[in-house]
Chain A
Amino acid sequence: MSPSTTRIVPFGISLGMIARYAVLLIGLSVTLLPFVYVLVSSLKTPAEIIRVQPAFFPKDATLQNYLTIFADPRVPVATFFANSTLVAVGRVLITLFTSSLAGYIFARYEFSGKNLMFGVLMAQIMIPFQMIMIPLYLILVQLQLIDTLWGLILPAMIDAFGIFLMRQFIEGIPRELIDAGRMDGASEFQIYARLILPQLRAPLASLGIFTFMATWNDYLWPLIVITTHEKRTLPLLLTWYSNAHGSRPALTMAASVIVLLPIVLIYILFQRQIVANAATTGFK
């Protein structure tokens, strides 16, 4: 144990505490080892990585694998990044809009059929995706949206959980705010856009981050919908690339790092919020 831990606990170090920190550090190494492994492997030369009993750290660290990927005309990395970003940002913006608007309606409006509609919405949470993916595919075929990025966005424009989350939050916003808006002659939509929306910064950020990550990492639905190489999202590109370079694992490791990097950076930036959200909302 480092000497600093004595200051952490006022009544000194007990055996139990040493054991506890030992467990935490073992857990830490197990958690981080695969990340370190992919990073060091991506810096190895093709000859070194397939050697039996290779050293953990590369002998001659090289960026050659990354350069190979970026120079490969069949792998326009920028295109795949653009595809993933477009779908993720598209889904985020649409979800935030529909969730906040519908959440506002459910929280602050009275109309007949409201409870029924809310029930329908909540029932939708119970339907697992695997159950409806075949009909969804057939619908996209009819709409001629197979093999388009729109096909990845369209079935995910309403998020029942997002609506639920927003409703909970908006119920905490004082009614006086809305009444004041009406007095000033604002239209219903203006009240939503100018008075409610600015209050929702925190829950919108949580919902946005989670929708972004879920979309960015999504695999099964893009695998079903996308068939053209240039329209692949990053996870699809990754499996294709790995299959195409089965004998050169260092390249696959470098490609994995390229795909992992943005999400890890986002995580480092928003770590506190992401963890807090997972803990309180049970968002996955």
Chain B
Amino acid sequence: MGQRGQLQRTQQRFAYSIMTPIMLYLMLFSLIPMIWAVVLGFFDYSPVRLGSGLFGLGGDNPFVALDNYIAMFGDTQAAHLFRTSLRNTFLFSFLVLPLNLAITLPLAIIIERSHARAKGFFRAVYFLPTVTSAVAVALIWGAIYSPQAGLLSSIIRSVGMTPPKAWLTDPQAIFMGIPIAMIALIVAHLWQDFGYNLVIFIAALQGIPANLREAAMVDGANESQMFWLVTLPLLRPTMLFVCVMTLLSSLQMFILAQVMTGGGPREQTTTILMSIYQNAFRFQNMGWAAAMSFVLFLIIFTFTMIQFRVLKTDWEY
């Protein structure tokens, strides 16, 4: 018995000796930054001013209560840019999500029905863009959208039509109320990202038991009934995951817009994360940026919760 107690003590000591530094690390690099970020949002903080007190919060970096949040509704240039970037981010995300699903779900069903070797091949190729550097993707698509010699304009000219003067830089270029530059970004984003959801859908489709489809077949279900009444309901948990992840990443869109358009033309493609980055690290306006990042956090959190509510299922197959 004594030996057993000894063994337990050794094990506990080992567990704590590993977990203590890990927990301290998480405190320093996750928990404290999270609290700090929320606190920063209540201050007019800039690292270029020395300030006073803990973390330089105070003195020249005064506590301003909710001023940063109230300012978001104001009539200043910064407030306008904030609201514009928020609108752009929503526009981007709410176009990307349905378009992504409209591409990946049918494609996954087609691939799932192909011969095993074809399946592996197409899946591998379609996944390739997701592993490539987003900066390189942005530069390549930038070249494709290049106004004169770019691939897209060349293709349009070669079928006898006239391409627009510019794809990414003309603020007047608008299609169905959506800036052409935004559409160009969405296309590039979809190209880079679709393989990810595709692969997840294929895996989920493979997990649907064959006897369920056979039963529906026996009952005389046709192809479209099969999809809407059998496949789609069974994909609900996957759909939840895919929607959450897709919305999460598109709400935090940064690289493509930063590199391809720089947020232009006339802030038509400035995303909320670009705005946070610029304010925090270009203008050193970190209190304001922290408040914006908290708003983005709340948006992400809310959408995730809503999707869990809407798409949650209690049953399994």
Enumerate chain A interface residues (CB-CB to B < 8 A): 8-9, 20-21, 23-24, 27-28, 30-35, 37-38, 41, 49-54, 56, 98, 101-102, 105, 109-111, 114, 117, 120-121, 124, 126-139, 141, 154-155, 157-158, 182, 188-189, 213, 216-217, 219-220, 223-224, 234-235, 238-239, 242, 249, 252-253, 256, 259-260, 263-264, 267, 271-272, 274-275, 278-280, 282, 284
Tell me the smallest distance from the CB of B93 to a CB of chain A, in Å: 14
Q: Which of B9-17, B72-80, B177-185, B209-217 interfaces with chain A?
A: B9-17
Query: Does B50 reach chain A (CB closer than 8 Å)?
Result: no
Query: Does B232 reach chain A (CB closer than 8 Å)?
Result: no
> Are A52 and B148 closer than 8 Å at their CB atoms?
yes
> Are B140 and A34 closer than 8 Å at their CB atoms?
yes
**Residue among A54, A217, A256 making CB contact with B140, cutoff 8 Å:** A256
Known A32-B125, A220-B277; judge A20-B144 contact (CB<8 A).
Answer: no
Tell me the smallest distance from the CB of B127 to a CB of chain A, in Å: 5
> Are B140 and A284 closer than 8 Å at their CB atoms?
no
> Are A279 and B110 closer than 8 Å at their CB atoms?
no
Which chain A residues lie closer than 8 Å to B126 at the CB level?
A: 27-28, 31
Tell me the smallest distance from the CB of A5 to a CB of chain B, in Å: 8
Q: Which of B94-102, B166-174, B195-203, B306-314 interfaces with chain A?
A: B195-203
17 additional contacts, CB 8 Å, given A21-B114, A253-B143, A272-B124? A30-B191, A50-B149, A101-B18, A102-B22, A111-B15, A120-B23, A120-B26, A128-B248, A128-B252, A131-B33, A135-B34, A188-B14, A217-B133, A238-B139, A253-B140, A275-B199, A278-B199
Query: Does B47 reach chain A (CB closer than 8 Å)?
Result: yes
Query: Does B283 reach chain A (CB closer than 8 Å)?
Result: no
> Are A130 and B293 closer than 8 Å at their CB atoms?
yes
> Are A260 and B133 closer than 8 Å at their CB atoms?
yes
Known A34-B141, A127-B34, A235-B135; judge A275-B123 contact (CB<8 A).
Answer: yes
> Are A131 and B111 closer than 8 Å at their CB atoms?
no
In the complex, per-residue mask of B232-267: 1 if CB is within 8 Å of any chain A CB, else 0: 000000000100010011001011000100000000
Report how far A235 CA is from B31 CA in the complex, Å: 29
> Are B133 and A235 closer than 8 Å at their CB atoms?
yes
Which chain B residues lie closer than 8 Å to A252 at the CB level?
A: 139, 143
> Are B191 and A34 closer than 8 Å at their CB atoms?
yes
Closest Cβ neighbor of B193 among chain A residues: A284
> Are B139 and A242 closer than 8 Å at their CB atoms?
yes
> Are A121 and B26 closer than 8 Å at their CB atoms?
yes
Report how far A280 CA is from B241 CA in the complex, Å: 12
Report how far A38 CA is from B202 CA in the complex, Å: 29
Enumerate chain B interface residues (CB-CB to A < 8 A): 7, 10-12, 14-16, 18-19, 22-23, 25-26, 28-34, 36-37, 40, 47, 55, 106-107, 110-111, 113-115, 117-118, 120, 122-137, 139-141, 143-144, 146, 148-149, 151, 154, 157-158, 191, 195-196, 199-200, 202-203, 241, 245, 248-249, 252, 254-255, 259, 273, 276-277, 280-281, 286, 289-290, 293-294, 296-297, 300-301
Report how far A101 CA is from B20 CA in the complex, Å: 13
Closest Cβ neighbor of B201 among chain A residues: A279
- Can you list 17 residue pairs at the A/B interface with Cβ under 8 Å? A31-B128, A38-B143, A49-B149, A52-B148, A109-B15, A129-B252, A132-B37, A137-B280, A158-B22, A219-B133, A238-B133, A249-B149, A252-B139, A256-B140, A260-B132, A263-B131, A279-B199
Report how far A34 CA is from B36 CA in the complex, Å: 42
Q: Is the interface of A mostly helix, strand, loop or mixed?
A: helix
Which chain A residues lie closer than 8 Å to B148 at the CB level?
A: 50, 52
**Residue among B118, B136, B141, B297 making CB contact with A131, cutoff 8 Å:** B297
> Are A135 and B40 closer than 8 Å at their CB atoms?
yes
Known A131-B297, A134-B37; judge A284-B29 contact (CB<8 A).
Answer: no
Which chain A residues lie closer than 8 Å to B107 at the CB level?
A: 23-24, 27
